[in-house]
Amino acid sequence: MRRERKAKIVATLGPASSERSTIQALFEAGADVFRFNFSHGSHADHQRRHALVREIEKDLGRPIAILADLQGPKLRIGQFSGGKVNVSAGAEFVLDQNPDQGDATRVCLPHPELFAAVTAGQSLLLDDGKIRLEVLASSDTAIRTRVVNSGVLSDRKGVNVPDAVLPIPALTTKDRQDLEFALDLGVDWIALSFVQRPEDVKEAQAIVNGRAGVLSKLEKPAALDRLEEIVAASDAVMVARGDLGVELPPERVPGVQKRIVRMCRKHGKPVVVATQMLESMISAPVPTRAEASDVANAVYEGADAVMLSAESASGAYPVQAVALMHRIISEVERDPYYQALIDAQHEAPLPNKGDAICAALRDVTQIIGVVATVTYTTSGHSSLRAARERPAAPIVSITPNRDTARRLALAWGVHSTVSPDVHSVDEMVAAACRIALREGFVKPGDQIAIAAGTPFGQPGTTNLLRLAEIWPQ
């Protein structure tokens, strides 16, 4: 099954998409990666869905990536004596460590690490930003604030702290349990929530130990201060616009999204744009025009993938949402302006052999009009470097490692295949021509460009570029 588009689709599985027939329909409609949201569902739920995805993968003969999205540290207030209270603009409101039920003047905040992290003048956002509090003073036991806007505050609402780097670990006890479970299942990507600094990424990578790729979700303004370090440390990145849109003014989110995408393209790291992309399709069969434009703009920016959350997990039209996202991407990529825009945003290659070879691969594609590029890879490095260059021709990735093939399902323009390793240049060229023909990318008489590393089978050695013509088999 060949995708005619280059940008990929991530679809979240949930109550509306737990049956085999629905999951297969999602894949056939265009989903390349399935996201398991560990904020919801039991381990048994995820295990069952994992087994179904792998069954579909085997039956259809295409590598499918699975992304396990960890919940991360969730900060919440305590409970109120009546379940909810009205807070008024200008009134003082205290967050403290008293476990008693709250009222209109105070509530428990059961996160002692926050009390030392906030200072006067900073803001606290409650209930996804619906209630804003201005910090007046903070001690070891209480944070005194002034209510900025009136509203209703109910039990266990979330707390966002946009103005501070919080001294909390990126991996909670629950996350560590979910992480080990996901790795034992054999997922391909681990999404790390609320990354604030590169040390958060490195901590997760030490636990993962190469068993999956680590994808950093950028949803805290503090992460932007060390953006390049975080991108460099990560295997992939997600622009998680949910909490990011709460903690940043809405007008800043589009610019931040573009900045993150550009940084990921510079470093050759896959980047996913997520949250509310086709939100109205949770309950309607068609999206708003603004939502369609949002998806299109992410594709024009050169994002590797766009993501559906509740639209495919719990919405009324999961398959239709994926199919529509597929059509939007395809329409954008048919636009002559698309390739011109991608080329205009092209980053200079980094000073290493892999980038030099893959930059030449892109140039050859443009100069002589090769129909497809082929990358041989063990670790995925060659294919990711080729994807960084955003060549006009599709990238047929050949690897002997099924885990690598699955992981590359997230990368822009990469069509992953699994094939036995080769041992000579002639064998490599013959296999490249055969697989490109078999997968429907070329016909006899077409030319392909091949990037690989020698000695064969050694990761990270991209150092060879070869042109070949397709002959009748």
User: For every one of its 473 residues, what pLDDT tens digit does the chain have, with 9 covering 90 and above?
Assistant: 789 999 999 999 999 999 999 999 999 999 999 999 999 999 999 999 999 999 999 999 999 999 999 999 889 999 999 999 999 999 999 999 999 999 999 999 999 988 988 999 999 999 989 999 999 999 999 999 999 999 999 999 999 998 888 888 889 999 999 999 999 999 999 999 999 999 999 999 999 999 999 999 999 999 999 999 999 999 999 999 988 989 899 999 999 999 999 999 999 999 999 999 999 999 999 999 999 999 999 999 999 999 999 999 999 999 999 999 999 999 999 999 999 999 888 888 888 888 899 999 999 988 998 999 999 999 999 999 999 999 999 999 999 999 999 999 999 999 999 999 888 899 999 999 999 999 999 999 999 999 988 777 777 678 889 999 998 87
The per-residue pLDDT for 410 is 98
Q: Name the token pair of 243.
A: 């909490």
Q: Are 191 and 238 in contact (CB under 8 A)?
A: yes
CA atoms of 141 and 98, how far apart (whole Å): 8
Choose which CATH entry (3.40.50.300, 1.25.60.10, 3.40.1380.20, 3.70.10.10) describes domain 353-469: 3.40.1380.20
Residue 87 confidence (pLDDT): 96
What are the tokens at 389?
A: 């260059």
The domain limits of the chain are: 8-72+170-335, 84-160, 353-469
- Burial of 332: CB neighbours in 10 Å, binned 0-12, 13-18, 19+: buried
3-state secondary structure of 423: coil
Asked if residue 207 lies in contact with residue 198, where contact means CB atoms within 8 angstroms, the answer is no
- 472: number of Cβ within 10 Å: 7
Catalogue the active-site residues: 35, 76, 217, 275
> Distance between CA atoms of 339 and 342, rounded to whole angstroms?
5
* Helices marked H in 61-212: 173-185, 198-208
Distance separating the N- and C-terminal Cα atoms of the chain: 20
CA distances to 180, 315, 324, 443 from 184, rounded to whole Å, are 6, 29, 34, 42
8-72+170-335 CATH fold: TIM Barrel (3.20.20)
Cα 144 from chain centroid (whole Å): 37
The residues, any chain, with a CB within 8 Å of residue 160's CB and separated by 6 or more, are: 75, 124, 125, 126, 128, 129, 243, 246, 247
> Got the DSSP string for 243-295?
HHHHHS-GGGHHHHHHHHHHHHHHHT--EEEESSTTGGGGTSSS--HHHHHHH
Helices (H) then strands (E): counts for the chain: 16, 21
Decide if 274 contacts 313 (C-beta within 8 A): no
**Which residues are CB-neighbours of 317 under 8 A, at least 6 positions away?**
281, 284, 285, 311
Structure tokens at 129: 């930003």
**DSSP three-state, residue 225:** coil
Task: For residue 466, list its beta bridge partners.
Answer: 450
What tokens were used for 59?
Answer: 């039956």
* The two three-digit tokens of residue 127, written as one number: 């209930």
Query: Which residues, 6 or more positions from 26, have their beta carbon under 8 angstroms from its beta carbon?
Result: 11, 17, 34, 312, 318, 319, 322
The radius of gyration of the chain from alpha carbons, rounded to an integer in Å, stands at 24
**pTM (predicted TM-score):** 0.93
In what helix (H) or strand (E) does residue 307 lie, and over which residues does it extend? Answer: strand 305-308
CATH fourth-level superfamily of 84-160: PK beta-barrel domain-like (2.40.33.10)
